Amino acid sequence: MALESQPDLEVVGEAGDGAQAVAMTRALRPDVVLMDVRMPVLDGIEATRHITSAGLPARVLVLTTFNLDEYVYTALRAGASGFLLKNVPPADLFTAIRAVAAGDAVVAPSVTRRLLDAFAHHLPTGSPRPDPLTPREREVLVELARGHSNVEIARRLGVGPGTVKTHVARILAKLHLRDRVHVVIHAYESGLIRPGDG
């Protein structure tokens, strides 16, 4: 009811379990899927993984009870574009859905950083992936992972905000990442950032 009160938001379907959510996403092709973590048949994490790995255009927002719920990191690894608390005020929910629909992540970089610091022990250890980035793009990636905005990165690196925006777009394209949240995850997994790095 709250979502349908917004003229620019339309609820196209509701699923009772994770498997149904995946099937409905395939059939209805929504812009955003608001996914609960705990659902019957197929949990929200696996449903998210199915949706994002199938190359569907829908972006997934995962609902969680606690700010640092153990499921949140797993959800981000599964391809979610961020997470919301279940008690999020309606206005914030509307803003988050619009942001994700526009291609942004709803998890602020600083919150993502704390999240990854808390769950860094879940990060895999293995051979690093080949790095296609230029030295400057790698610098920008590290600054993103430290939780800095484009304006802050521009100031720290002595370039214009437009240049930083271009670098961010190239990083996303080269690394096949969806948004800034996944840039941070990549930085941790590749060893460019460790918990506590400033």
Q: Are residues 78 and 130 in the same domain?
A: no
Q: Are residues 28 and 89 in the same domain?
A: yes
Q: Is residue 193 within 8 Å of 142, Cβ to Cβ?
A: yes
Q: List, for residues 122-172, the tens digit of each pLDDT value.
A: 555 544 555 788 889 989 988 887 778 888 899 999 999 899 989 988 988
Higher pLDDT, 29 or 120: 29
Q: List, for residues 13-30, the tens digit of each pLDDT value.
A: 999 899 999 999 999 999
Residue 114 inside a domain? The answer is no
pLDDT (0 to 100) of residue 127: 47
Please calculate the CA angle 56-13-53 and round it to the nearest 5 degrees.
20
Rounded to whole angstroms, the Cα distance separating 20 from 31 reads 17
Q: Are residues 20 and 88 in the same domain?
A: yes
Q: Are residues 95 and 155 in the same domain?
A: no
Domain of residue 68 covers 3-107
Domains in the chain: how many in total? 2
Other CB atoms closer than 10 Å to residue 120's CB: what's the count? 14
